Structure 1
Amino acid sequence: MRAIVLGCVLVLAFVLVYPTLHTYLRQEADLRELRSQVAAARERNDDLEAELERWDDPAFVTAQARERLSYVLPGEKAYRVVDPETVEVPTTQVVDEDTPVARTQAQQPWYTSVWDSLVVAGTTDDATPRDATKRPTKDTTKDTTKDTTKGAEQDAATNDASSARP
């Protein structure tokens, strides 16, 4: 009988203590995870502040302008070393059969390609040239929309003038 009572007391104690102990252990794990996240955020914040302080140094700003934007100081010559395996061979100028637009080489300056496109756009393939002496025939029908518009404008001006009088 004592063993049964002792077993019941242990089961009752386990049922009462287990949820509380489980919640405590889960909260401790969450707290450890949050502390590690805070430490990582502080470390990142310190790194960002150090980088921000580096931007106050004029030498660092100059180095970044040279590296990122390829700037050079006056009097210096800039050289760009290109890996020959990654450089594409420039294609020759080819005119597409369907359209009169020419493909340009990659080494041409932009204004050369613009000029070439204007030259190509100025050429026509029309078989019949325009006759400069030929003039369009004059339409003898009277445009009534202009007359009605003028009349409406005059009526509105008259109404505005009459309503402005005291």
Structure 2
Amino acid sequence: MPRLFSVRAIVLGVVLVLAFVLVYPTLHTYLRQQVELRGLRQDVAAARERNDDLEAELARWDDPAYITAQARERLAYVFPGETAFRVVDPESVEEPAAPVDEQDTPVATTTAEVPWYSALWDSMAVAGAEPTTDDATTPEKDSRTGTDDGAGAKKGTDAP
């Protein structure tokens, strides 16, 4: 019966596997570092380009005409004797918000003129106080059924 693998083939296979196990981590690290190096070189090139752009921008500020143009554009400066006009696009202007009507309660009138702890104490005092409201504005309970009639009727009157 012929041998499937000779001793030389087995030894060669073991040597190749051992070489792969020893070389792979080093080769993998080398390839990963090459990728990182390529990325860092791109970052350096981008930083140099940004630096050149900033130096060109700085050099433009030495020109008096550029300074004048920037003052007119950014700060809306005008020369003496000129009239400045500002054109406003009606679609970009927002309508002013309607003022909010504050209720006449101690909590609603607390503003920045009183310290926060005073406002908190007033709020607790208002929360614990008995409500004082007009009889005409609050619905009364029907004396016969004990339910709310919802019409604001006074006690003792017959509501239809």
| TM-score band w.r.t. shorter chain | 0.5 to 0.7
**CA shift for structure 1 position 21:** 0.6
SS in 2 for 1:2: helix
Q: Are residue 56 (structure 1) and residue 34 (structure 2) matched?
A: no
Counterpart of 1:107 in structure 2 is none
Residues 38 and 77 of structure 1: is their aligned pair in 2 closer, same or farther, counting only changes over 3 Å?
same
- Is 1:73 the counterpart of 2:79 in the alignment? yes
TM-score (norm 2): 0.55
After TM superposition, give the deviation of residue 86 of structure 1 in Å.
2.4
Q: Gaps (5+ residues) in structure 1?
A: 99-166
Identity level (%): 76
The alpha-carbon distance between structure 1 residues 50 and 97, as it changes in their structure 2 partners (threshold 3 A), is: same
More helix per residue: 1
| Structure 2 residue 36 is matched with structure 1 residue 34 | no
Deviation at 1:96, TM superposition (A): 7.4
- Rounded to whole Å, the distance in 2 between the matches of 1:77 and 1:91 is 31
Q: Deviations over 1:103-154 (max 9, x none)?
A: xxxxxxxxxxxxxxxxxxxxxxxxxxxxxxxxxxxxxxxxxxxxxxxxxxxx
Aligned-residue CA RMSD in angstroms? 2.5
Give the equivalent residue in structure 2 for 1:149.
none
Structure 2: gaps (5+ residues): 1-6, 105-160
Distance 1:11 1:31 in 2: 30
How many angstroms apart in 2 are the aligned matches of 1:3 and 1:75?
Answer: 99
In the TM superposition, what are the counterparts of 1:70-149 in structure 2 within 5 Å? 70-88=76-94
Q: Which among 11, 18, 21 is matched to residue 12 of structure 1?
A: 18
Return the TM-score normalized by structure 1: 0.53
